[in-house]
Amino acid sequence: MDASAPILSNPLPEFYDDLHAAFNRAWRLLELATKDRRSVFHTPSIATIAEDCTPEVRTVVLRAASQKDATLRFHTDRRSGKFQQASSNV
């Protein structure tokens, strides 16, 4: 074995050089995360722009993901600044 060759403990995933397959895998992970609270995708961060044009980032709980509709759904309180900013950034 060549000492300078990198040793991979895990083989590369089958989608590592296939953008379409990677896209499908990402959506699958998001869809699974809606049911698995231990998934790192269960609590994504969303960014909005405040009235003073500064970015604000918040963590939300993912409730639904649909590759078919290209949508993510999460819940928040209508009275929160997060709701107001997200509504105006659509």
**How many other C-beta atoms are found inside a 10 Å radius of the C-beta of residue 14?**
10
- Structure confidence at residue 46 (pLDDT): 85
> Whole-model pTM?
0.69
77 touches 43 (CB < 8 A): no
- Structure confidence at residue 62 (pLDDT): 94
pLDDT tens sequence across 10-54: 788 888 889 999 999 999 999 999 999 999 999 998 888 888 889
Token reading at 88:
């105006």
27-64 exposure pattern, b = at least 16 Cβ within 10 A, e = fewer: beebeebbeeeeeebbebebebeeeeeeeeebebebee
Q: Which of the given ranges, 44-48, 66-70, 72-76, has the highest pLDDT on average?
A: 66-70
Q: What percent of the chain has pLDDT over 70?
A: 84
Rounded Cα gap, residues 74 and 76, in angstroms: 7
Q: Tokens 């050089």, residue?
A: 17
Q: 8 pLDDT exceeds 80?
A: no
- Structure confidence at residue 16 (pLDDT): 85
Token reading at 22:
């990677």
